[in-house]
Structure 1
Amino acid sequence: MASAPANALPVFYNDLLPLSSLDHADFKVRPADTAPFLTSQHAVPLTVDEFAAAQRFLPIIFSAGDDSVPLALMGLNEGVNVVLDEQGKLRGPAYVPAYVRRYPWLLARLRPDSEELSLCFDPTNETVGAFEEGQPLFEDGKPTELVQGVLKFCEDFEQAAARTGQFMKDLAELDLLMDGEVSIQVPGSEQPFLYRGFRMVNEEKLRDLRGDQLRKINQNGMLPLIYAHLFSLQLMRDIFDAQVAQGKGPVAPPPAVAALQG
């Protein structure tokens, strides 16, 4: 099976191959405690299932444009990730989005005329291969428990992604999203740093919802997700301060405007 074209691949993936009991019979997975592929990524896709856990550690925003998706911010500037060190190790307690934990695996359609999803992996990742050490992917030609667990994780992720798509559709129908702006005042500077290029929930429109609309988003579980997003925005300042402490803060003199785009 030919690998996927580069322009069709999601973030992090350099290549994609379907897992095969014939081609990969001797492949193993070896553990890794670093994520070097993530060190320069400042925003990572997030599902609504993760909002409650993620909002304690990371700001949750929505990408700019008409087809917005939720993003967890690990840095406020392009190429900056304050959660990991230069080797890709966590600096401390943090939430790692499922999108990251899924890599290098992915459920993908092998043929455009088929709805069937197959378990694939990125062969350029250094954790999967024909190694001497590690956990085997197949035994006697059958997937091991490890592969079954990976498949279940990827299936759960796809279902969460579908719920996220519906959440975003409902937000759009209620016209609750607006262009976001965060202003961060730095001591000793007259002008603040401004961050734009993302979307956020309009709290004024949220307060002005009709009773039936408010009842609907309360009953379908949207309301706590919205507030998790709004509460998490307070962490923008923490991310900014971490950037400065790590020597990764903005270098342009205020007023500086940066775009937060995934």
Structure 2
Amino acid sequence: MTRHALLNNGDHQNLRINNRRAADLGDGVMYVPTFPFEFRAVQAHYPILFHQDASTGRYHALAMFGFERGENLFLTDAGWDAHYVPLAIQRQPFLIGQDGRGGQVVHIDLDSPRVSGTEGEPLFQANGASTPYLEHVAAVLDAMHRGGEEAAAFTETLATLGLLESLALDVELADGSKNRLMGFHVINEEKLMALDGATLVDLNARGYLAAIYMVLASLSHIRDLIVRKNARLGGQ
């Protein structure tokens, strides 16, 4: 369940946000959206794959955390086991919205398990001003809003150039079980290398070429996911 409300220092003066990283707080997810401006940080830890929305046909870039729904192999008893936490995780339990004049406002999901009256980061100071934590959240939401527009143009370009292909990956684990990763897309390197010079120059000028190579580099972390999965199975 979700219960969204426009965040304000009257109704929500005493709210706090539990920032502990755990599955029971909403972090038990297989993937989250990511954005080209974030790729440099994301590709250092996570595979970046693409998913096509069946209703719109549009593609979305995703930071992958596991092989099956609800699985996050980066969650441990000590918290999140990576130096960078993607923005789509950092922003919980907040969302960006618009006021009647087209300005951006912050909404909060009051039913989120992160919302507390006693534990975690405060949102407002005694005088009603935003805390540094809330200012950080607002900056994250704004970056994601702007990044969404950039991401849409980026993935549309990849699709138009025919650079996206379906991925079907069979993973055999140490205990003999098998996982099949399906429903995602990757960049076809052969088609990328076959692009003419003018197209490559255009991609580079738009900042897309660097983003493409970051996505390609990130795929080495699929092996890291397998290692994490095997370690978890061994622990069990």
TM-score by length of 1: 0.76
Which AA in structure 1 matches 2:82?
P
Maintained 8 Å contact 2:59/2:156:
no
> Structure 1 residues 148 and 185, CA, compared in 2 at 3 Å: closer, same or farther?
closer
Q: What are the superposed Cα offsets for residues 134-173 of structure 1, whole Å, 9 maximum, x if unpaired? A: 5351543444444333323321221122211221122122
1:96 aligns to what? 85
Range that drifts further, 164-173 or 133-142 = 133-142
Q: What are the superposed Cα offsets for residues 184-234 of structure 1, whole Å, 9 maximum, x if unpaired? A: 456797x98542210111112111112111111112111111111111112
> Structure 1 residues 156 and 188, CA, compared in 2 at 3 Å: closer, same or farther?
closer
**Corresponding residue to 1:180 among 145, 167, 170:** 167
Q: What is the aligned length?
A: 231
> 2-side partners of 1:215 and 1:62: how far apart?
23
**Corresponding residue to 1:212 among 194, 198, 202:** 198
Which AA in structure 2 matches 1:122?
D
> Structure 1 residues 118 and 133, CA, compared in 2 at 3 Å: closer, same or farther?
closer
1:151 lines up with 2:142 in the alignment: no
1:106 aligns to what? 95
Structure 2 alignment gaps of length 5 or more: none
**Corresponding residue to 2:233 among 217, 231, 247:** 247
Which AA in structure 2 matches 1:210?
D
Structure 1 alignment gaps of length 5 or more: 1-5, 7-13, 249-262
Which has more strand, going by share of residues?
Answer: 2
> 2-side partners of 1:219 and 1:84: how far apart?
38
> 2-side partners of 1:186 and 1:22: how far apart?
52
Which AA in structure 2 matches 1:95?
Y
2:156 aligns to what? 169
2:182 aligns to what? 196
Q: What are the superposed Cα offsets for residues 102-128 of structure 1, whole Å, 9 maximum, x if unpaired? A: 1111112467xx633321111123444
> What is the CA-CA distance between 1:176 and the residue it aligns to?
1.2
> 1-side partners of 2:110 and 2:211: how far apart?
36
TM-score by length of 2: 0.83
Maintained 8 Å contact 1:123/1:129:
no
Maintained 8 Å contact 2:21/2:27:
no
Partner SS state of residue 222, structure 2: helix
Partner SS state of residue 197, structure 1: strand
Partner SS state of residue 214, structure 2: helix
Report which of the two structures shows the higher radius of gyration computed on alpha carbons.
Answer: 1
> Structure 1 residues 61 and 99, CA, compared in 2 at 3 Å: closer, same or farther?
same
**Corresponding residue to 1:49 among 21, 26, 37:** 37
Maintained 8 Å contact 2:48/2:63:
yes
Give the RMSD, CA atoms, in angstroms: 2.9
> What is the CA-CA distance between 1:78 and the residue it aligns to?
1.9
Which AA in structure 2 matches 1:243?
K
> What is the CA-CA distance between 1:175 and the residue it aligns to?
2.0
Partner SS state of residue 219, structure 2: helix
